[in-house]
Amino acid sequence: MISDLPLCDFTQPVELQAVRALGRQVVRFAHALPRHRRLSGEGAGSLQLATEQCDWLLPADPLPTGLVPVPGDTLQSDDERWLVQSAELLVGGSVWRCCCRLQD
């Protein structure tokens, strides 16, 4: 199944940097969708986003066979580096959700 992420608004290019036993691999995604987590607010009208935590949605199709995001990998977006804390395959195997924390 092909991902529809390229059709979404607010996508950004990111680079997955994965270090494995056979060396470092870099995969570039033209369309990844950041989804900042919501913080619980006191009132119904107050919405705050956790700027240091983000779920990145990545299409599965540019990943080489056998390479999947794992905790410890990083995502580079513009001048921000995100550390992958967990990853799971969604949407019939076409999208990865990587739960990440912003690195200093």
Q: What pTM was estimated for this model as a whole?
A: 0.79
Give, in words, the CATH class of 5-102: mainly beta
The span from the CA of 46 to the CA of 85, in Å, is 27
pLDDT per position as a tens digit, 27-68: 999 989 998 765 555 555 655 555 788 999 999 888 888 899
d(CA 83, CA 89): 17
What pLDDT score was predicted for residue 91? 76
Would you list the domain boundaries of the chain? 5-102
Residue 7 pLDDT > 90? no
Cα first-last separation, the chain: 36
